[in-house]
């Protein structure tokens, strides 16, 4: 994650919707590709992609800049996998 992306996450944590949109544009494709590679269902992958970014919106305020964040957001994928399993979806 670049310095700019760290800044964007901090701004998202402050409720900046434009920062979330910029973060989405930066990571949408790699996260979507990762999810599709796990589910092999483009429609479900789109839904989960949306949920992942809503999770980012909810937890960004707690981001301290120390965690390694790369395309895919490994911690959020883990959390989303738990949610997907609980709801009967395949885990990404």
Burial class of residue 78 in the structure, from the number of CB atoms within 10 Å of its CB (0-12 exposed, 13-18 middle, 19+ buried): exposed
User: Which pLDDT tens digit goes with each residue over 11-66?
Assistant: 999 999 999 999 999 999 999 999 999 999 999 999 999 999 999 999 988 877 65
CA–CA gap between residue 9 and residue 60 (Å, rounded)? 6
pLDDT beyond 70 at 72: no
**Predicted confidence band of residue 82 (pLDDT cuts 50, 70, 90):** very low
Whether the model clears a pTM of 0.95, i.e. scores above it, the answer is: no
Burial class of residue 84 in the structure, from the number of CB atoms within 10 Å of its CB (0-12 exposed, 13-18 middle, 19+ buried): buried
Q: What is the DSSP string of 24-57?
A: HHHHHHHHHHHHHHHH--HHHHHHHHHHHHHHHH
CATH architecture of 3-86: Orthogonal Bundle (1.10)
């Amino acid at each position: 994650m670049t310095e700019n992306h760290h800044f964007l996450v901090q701004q998202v944590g402050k409720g900046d919707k434009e920062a979330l949109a910029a973060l989405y544009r930066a990571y949408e494709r790699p996260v979507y590709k990762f999810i599709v590679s796990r589910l092999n269902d483009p429609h479900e992958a789109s839904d989960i992609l949306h949920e992942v970014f809503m999770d980012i919106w909810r937890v960004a305020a707690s981001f301290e800049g120390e965690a390694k964040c790369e395309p895919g957001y490994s911690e959020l994928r883990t959390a989303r996998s738990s949610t997907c399993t609980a709801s009967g979806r395949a885990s990404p």
